[in-house]
Structure 1
């Protein structure tokens, strides 16, 4: 006897088999097989959708690597209403710098030479927070 039978004096009806007690459960194996097939189809469709989204993301993704001595811009995290580096709101800069790369800390982390007024910031940044600085030197003609 199950605990449910002992407590309530009747058999438990689960949502999967919502039959009256004593009815014949015909085609139970068919129901289980049909459910397995449905789960298999759902998994295949989810995999297809994930692969499609991954291919879209991979087309836009690019590998960034910097060398020691390169100059980079530092991306700021936008905070609405917070005064950042002398500007406020929509006019606040998205990138500040350029700053020199002092050291490569890990495969995707770099240490920058920050000026004294940014001493409160941690000097190690993820590659996603950096953008390569391209100097605007004009060629001599």
Structure 2
């Protein structure tokens, strides 16, 4: 038997119908530029909340700067 006073309505938690949630980037671990035949692609290695460093992903640097400019505020420019 459960205690009905301990039941929390889902409206307060903010669960989406798809049972998903948005990941939040915590830190930029590395920046790199990959040279292809006709262009260069700048990437940022992003550490996400609730993930380990080993699970960090490479994302397009330009997209990350648009969405999360605060992560690049104090980062030095790589040579």
Instruction: Give the TM-score of the pair, scaled to structure 1.
Output: 0.23
Higher relative contact order (CA 8 A, sep 6+): 2
Q: Whose helix proportion is higher, 1 or 2?
A: 1
Q: Whose strand proportion is higher, 1 or 2?
A: 2
In our comparison, the structure showing a higher alpha carbon Rg is: 1
